[in-house]
Amino acid sequence: MNRNFGNTDLETSPIVYGCMGGAGAFGAQEEKDSIEALQEAFNVGINFFDTAEAYGNGYSEQLLGRALGDKRSELVISSKVARENLAPDDIIAACDRSLQNLGSDYIDLYMLHWPNRDVPLADSIGALKKLKEDGKIRWYGVSNFGSLDLDEATALGEISVNQLPYHLFFRAIEFEVQPKCEAAGVPIMCYSSLMQGLLAGKYKSLQDFPVDRARTRMFDHRKWAEVVHKEEGAEEAGQELLDALWKLVDETGLSMEELAIGWLKSRPAVGGVIVGTRNGAQSRGLKKLLDVTLDEAVLKSLSDASDRLKTELGTDIDMWGKGRTR
């Protein structure tokens, strides 16, 4: 079931366990539930775990180390250095903190979390190369890098991943950066793969979606309190897609999660799909997502159903605003 991840020697599960939620990003979370969620994800066959120093100010990394530290040799761990820490000395210091948090002497895959225009990218990539030479990281990559930023990064070093927002409700990467990733042999790790729960099969209407999660460019800034962009969104197209998904659930007998994740697993250049849970029971349910494969007719139906929303949201790969990516 595991497969080689891009240009690396890492053998990874197609589902990546996302550790952001364990740090309380999606509401109050009991530590024992977070630890059990991590352990049960490993037990069902997931060996790839994604975290970042920004998730709970290192707490997410600490949880991962405590939950699965005794399984370290069997894990592939990715972490990310925050945008404000991309100066070379800051990257080195951030990596050292992450290693301490994880209780490990190496990180398998280390990424720049967001571009930072105030720091020359060559300097940041140089620091990543040094970390690799020193054995603190095995491979390095980027996150939230659009087409132009990815061109610059791949010219400077051997980029092993680009972590990007990608799901049926947000396909902006398909216009430019996904084809470039495919051509360059850079795997994509998809985050927000279930659209903060909208694709989890709980909501019939966008209007029922929790206000604190309705922040993407699909939502009209005039109607939703947490939205930071100033656009009118594309809610009609979004509701049209949601209705079509429920119809496919009925027709196929698959869950909405299986449809959403199965579609992502089939997409060009996708090397891993990030999914998170809140407890052990939810993690045990990830087994079906590891196994799911969709036939071509269902895949086409999913793409067709989301084409209108893809077109209306356009090419900017920032799911929440504009100007941070290029």
Helical pair 256-265 and 296-313, crossing angle rounded to 10 deg: 90
Beta carbons of 99 and 118 less than 8 angstroms apart: no
Torsion of CA 203, 32, 22, 96, to 10 degrees: -170
Catalytic (active site) residue 59: no
Nearest of 92, 82, 90, 132 to residue 108 by alpha carbon: 132
Q: Which residue has the tokens 């894990």?
A: 75
Distances (CA, A) of 216 to 229, 233, 267, 276, 317: 8, 8, 22, 19, 11
H or E segment to which residue 266 belongs? none
Nearest of 279, 286, 297, 108 to residue 194 by alpha carbon: 286
Q: Which residue has the tokens 């972490």?
A: 79
Q: How far apart are CA 98 and CA 320, in angstroms?
A: 27
Q: Strand pairing of 15-18 and 270-275?
A: parallel
- Identify the bridge partners of residue 77 per DSSP, sorted by sequence position: 49
* Residue from 17, 55, 59, 140 carrying the catalytic annotation: 55
Distances (CA, A) of 107 to 60, 127, 135, 192, 282: 14, 14, 9, 23, 26
Sequence-distant (≥ 6) Cβ neighbours of residue 118 within 8 angstroms:
none
Beta carbons of 221 and 185 less than 8 angstroms apart: no
Residue 306 burial (10 A CB sphere; 0-12, 13-18, 19+): buried
**Which residues belong to the active site?**
55
